[in-house]
């Protein structure tokens, strides 16, 4: 520590003078012993750091305790190191990869000969408890590149990472007990701060996410400051397992993905197909009400189209390989937008024509790596609820108001809450950075004028422009990628998308790329989990199942089915097997209504109604009243 003094500004505006090189822990101690004991990390000039990190210049500082949200990621990163400590003690030969904190937990990658078993995870978790109980301090130190090479001479994965550092770059290592890791931190003061944690699962993961590299074994876990929070999270994970769309999709016979067809390609079964049809018909009717024009485009196009759009420049790794036809190269469509631009260009457009809204449920193809595929949520072929809106610059704000109102209405029908995120310019953005940033500020202005809360997604924008993302929140509090509203000043330049203004001069149009729901695959996969397979009546594949008690009453039951179908209800008759078996089957398929018809019901023109979720309760209703009840529920798109 130097005799030179630096100024440390606290959140309340007080300023401390501390020796240069003081750590964040020193600052906490200077403020008071209570804070020093509770401190886990700190935010220095906006960057989260460990308590052991030195401060060399004047700085603003905020000490983090368990009450601060930012401290949880620090705890979880430390938990990853505790996991690696445990694995190295039980498997000394395991190669170590990376161990970051992630949303809801952490993971660490290991290079081992055989995949870890559930019994291995139990042993690692027990050893983690011993490491935590030992309260090993996390010690940080700076090393040179040569020193780091020597320290990690037996760790080829770390040596590979080291070679990516510049010779003058600051390199830090962290040590706790017997474990040493190449790491930027930050970490909590000691392993003893880790009290409430759980290892969750193991999985394969390619080194550096590269399919051509070796497969590592990844262990996922989670950690919390308080036991009730951990228990709540584990309960939510158990509920999520029950709602897994891959399991329910099979149980309810909604869709399949088969090796003979290819991973990432969804086959919609009849029961899933009618759900998709219901969503699409509702959406199309809504689009027409909101003055969209429906268009259609081919699923294959000349590679030249994607060269003009810039997709070949910045997106080629996510496109399927080219097909060659006598020297002309074709690509499967990765996005609908270039096709819509070509439709726009077929006519001279006047300022009076705008806005023009071209909408398409268009199927696109992306080469997603096999390790990233996940049921219906991450696929290689998907049908996107897509539209491109061509506006004058003075129409941007009004059009975004329409979009936000339209999206809000749709999500309310499906029973979703949502959050908004404003995304900014990514590294691979094309065009003038100033134009991109101007577009970002235009979107910020729309949100702030409407008083809508939002978070920033720095660097998360599309390569051609910033966007507002709609992240829906499901029934158990998870966030799903929903719609997106992207503002684009670049494609009009590339494609020459113009309109003739009131001054009789040509002007560049502005394009809004938007999806309201996202892809049908992802959206309906999310709906399966949101509703736990129990779809509202208007979406249910089978809305009513009529069950005659015996053969003598089958004709009467069939008449009721005919009346329901005539009223627009998806109703079926099921007379095979015993009545108890048929009731259980209907419950398993989560059919909203069962109607039982026996002697009394046949003679009285009634039906004994069982409503999903109400157990064995039966209400005897007149048939006309029952049909009216079901039809009303469907027409209102009621959630209950």
Catalytic sites, residue numbers: 337, 366, 384, 386, 388, 467, 513
Q: How many CB atoms lie within 10 A of CB 4?
A: 9
The span from the CA of 501 to the CA of 15, in Å, is 58
Q: What is the 3-state secondary structure (H, E, C) of 233-276?
A: HHHHHHHHHHHCHHHHHHHCCCEECCCCCCCCCCEECHHHHHHH
C-beta atoms surrounding 395 within 10 Å: 18
Q: Can you tell me whether residue 84 is helix, strand or coil? A: helix
- Tokens representing residue 88 in the block: 């190295």
β-strands 171-176, 5-9 pairing = unpaired
Helices 118-133 and 70-90: crossing angle in degrees, nearest 10, is 110
CA distance 105 to 86: 17
Residue in the structure block whose two tokens are 């030249």: 304
Question: How far, in whole angstroms, is CA 539 from its chain's centroid?
Answer: 23
Neighbouring C-beta atoms of residue 632, cutoff 10 Å: 11
Which residues are bridge partners to 470 per DSSP?
A: 420
- The whole-angstrom separation of Cα 274 and Cα 541 is 6
Q: Are 460 and 424 a contacting pair, CB within 8 Å?
A: yes
Is the Cβ–Cβ distance between 113 and 94 less than 8 Å?
Answer: no
Q: CA 209: distance to chain centroid?
A: 19
Strand partners, 63: 42
Nearest to 83 by CA among 190, 237, 219, 230: 219
CA 117, CA 155: separation in Å to the nearest integer? 23
DSSP 465-503: B-EEEEEEE-TTS-EEEEEEEEEESSHHHHHT-EEE-TT
Q: Could you give the angle at the alpha carbon of 98 between the alpha carbons of 96 and 100, nearest 5°? A: 140
Distance, in Å, from the CA atom of 541 to the CA atom of 243, rounded to the nearest integer, reads 18
| DSSP state letters, 23-89 | BHHHHHHHH-HHHHHH--EEEETTEEE-TT-B--S-EEEEEE-TTSTHHHHHHHHHHHHHHHHHHHH
Number of H helices, E strands in the chain: 20, 33
- Contact predicate 590/243, CB 8 Å: no
Helix (H/G/I), strand (E/B), else coil: 515: strand
Angle between helices 270-289 and 520-530 (to 10 degrees): 110
Coil/strand/helix, residue 164: coil
Question: Around Cβ 355, how many Cβ atoms within 10 Å?
Answer: 18
- Cα(569)–Cα(565) distance, rounded to whole angstroms? 5
Omega cis (within 30) before 321: no
3-class SS at 349?
coil
Q: What is the CA radius of gyration of the chain?
A: 30
């Amino acid at each position: 520590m130097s005799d030179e003094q630096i100024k440390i500004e606290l959140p309340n505006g007080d300023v401390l003078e501390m020796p240069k090189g003081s750590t964040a822990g020193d600052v906490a101690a200077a403020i008071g012993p209570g804070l020093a004991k509770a401190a886990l990390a700190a935010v220095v000039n906006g960057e989260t750091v460990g308590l052991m990190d030195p401060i060399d210049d004047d700085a603003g500082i905020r000490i983090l305790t368990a009450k601060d949200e930012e401290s949880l990621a620090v705890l979880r990163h430390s938990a990853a190191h505790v996991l690696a400590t445990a694995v190295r003690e039980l498997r000394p030969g395991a190669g170590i990869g990376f161990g970051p904190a992630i949303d809801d937990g952490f993971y660490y990658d290991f290079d081992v000969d055989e995949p870890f078993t559930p019994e291995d995870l139990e042993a690692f978790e027990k050893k983690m408890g011993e490491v935590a109980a030992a309260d090993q301090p996390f010690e940080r130190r700076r090393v040179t590149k040569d020193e780091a090479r020597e320290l990690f001479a037996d760790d080829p994965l770390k040596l590979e990472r080291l070679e990516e550092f510049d010779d003058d770059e600051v390199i830090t290592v962290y040590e706790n007990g017997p474990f040493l890791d190449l790491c930027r931190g930050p970490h909590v003061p000691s392993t003893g701060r880790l009290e409430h944690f759980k290892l969750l699962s193991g999985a394969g993961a390619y080194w550096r996410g590269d399919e051509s590299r070796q497969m590592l074994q990844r262990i996922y876990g989670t950690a919390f400051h308080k036991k009730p929070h951990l228990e709540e999270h584990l309960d939510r994970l158990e509920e999520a397992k029950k709602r897994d769309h891959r399991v329910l999709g099979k149980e309810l016979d909604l869709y399949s993905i088969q090796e003979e067809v290819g991973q990432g390609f969804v086959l919609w079964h009849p029961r899933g197909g009618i759900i998709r049809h219901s969503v699409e018909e509702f959406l199309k009717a809504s689009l027409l009400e909101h003055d969209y024009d429906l268009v259609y485009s081919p699923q294959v196009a000349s590679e030249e189209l994607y060269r003009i759009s810039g997709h070949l420049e910045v997106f080629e790794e996510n496109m399927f390989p080219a097909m060659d036809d006598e020297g002309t190269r074709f690509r499967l469509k990765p996005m609908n937008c270039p096709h819509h631009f070509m439709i726009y260009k077929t006519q001279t457009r006047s300022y009076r024509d705008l806005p023009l809204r071209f909408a398409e449920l268009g199927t696109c193809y992306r080469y997603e790596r096999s390790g990233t595929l996940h049921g219906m949520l991450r696929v290689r072929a998907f049908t996107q609820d897509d539209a491109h809106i061509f506006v004058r610059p003075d129409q941007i704000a009004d059009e975004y108001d329409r979009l936000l109102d339209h999206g809000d209405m749709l999500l309310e029908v499906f029973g979703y809450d949502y959050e908004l995120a404003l995304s900014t310019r990514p590294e691979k953005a094309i065009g003038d950075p100033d134009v991109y940033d101007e577009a970002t500020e235009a979107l910020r202005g729309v949100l702030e004028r409407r008083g809508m809360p939002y978070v920033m997604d720095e660097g998360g924008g599309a390569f051609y422009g910033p966007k507002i993302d709609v992240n829906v929140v499901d029934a158990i509090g998870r966030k799903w990628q929903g719609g997106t509203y992207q503002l684009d000043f670049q494609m009009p330049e590339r494609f020459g998308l113009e309109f003739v203004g009131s001054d009789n001069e040509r002007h560049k149009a502005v394009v809004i790329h938007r999806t309201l729901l996202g892809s049908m695959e992802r959206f309906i996969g999310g709906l399966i989990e949101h509703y736990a397979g129990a779809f509202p009546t208007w979406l249910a594949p089978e809305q009513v199942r009529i069950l005659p008690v015996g053969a003598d009453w089958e004709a009467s039951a069939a008449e009721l089915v005919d009346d329901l179908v005539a009223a627009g209800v998806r109703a079926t008759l099921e007379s095979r097997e015993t009545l108890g078996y048929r009731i259980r089957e209907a419950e398993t398929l989560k059919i909203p209504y069962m109607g039982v018809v026996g002697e009394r019901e046949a003679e009285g023109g009634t039906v004994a109604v069982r409503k999903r979720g109400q157990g064995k309760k039966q209400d005897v209703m007149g048939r006309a009243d029952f049909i009216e009840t079901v039809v009303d529920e469907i027409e209102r798109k009621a959630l209950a």
